[in-house]
Amino acid sequence: MKLDRTLANEIKKQANGDGSREAKFAFIRKVRDASKMMSSPDVMNGKFDEALKVYGRVPVAVCVAATLYRRHHRLDNWRFDWAVAVLDLWTNRTAHGVEDAYIDDGIHPTRICEYARNFIRLTTEE
């Protein structure tokens, strides 16, 4: 499994920014806002696509990766390698960055496999 090069470059550029403290916290704010938008049972009914349009691929990818990382024991390691690859590219995350990005959708943990499947497939080079 290998991340799409375009997504990998976007993560490096946006998540790490210019290295300044302001850029780091601006990205974290964006990730928190994307996570907040998707933290609803409505994530299955269009909130996921809406978050992609509003916040872009990188914050949504970080949120999905954080959620997969936290739920990996419930998902039989479904795309855990993708999640780790995304989180490894976010080199300047805070100590609780994964917690900030977690999607608390209130639905069964395995439902992320449904609403994030196509996004993960499209951002992976096989």
- Residue 35 belongs to what domain range? 2-125
The answer, yes or no, to whether residue 42 has pLDDT greater than 80, is yes
What's the total number of domains in the chain? 1
> Using one digit for the tens of pLDDT, what is the confidence trace for 55-84?
999 999 999 999 999 999 989 888 999 999
pTM, full prediction: 0.94
Nearest Cα neighbor of 43 from 88, 108, 97, 120 is 108
Longest dimension (CA), the chain: 38
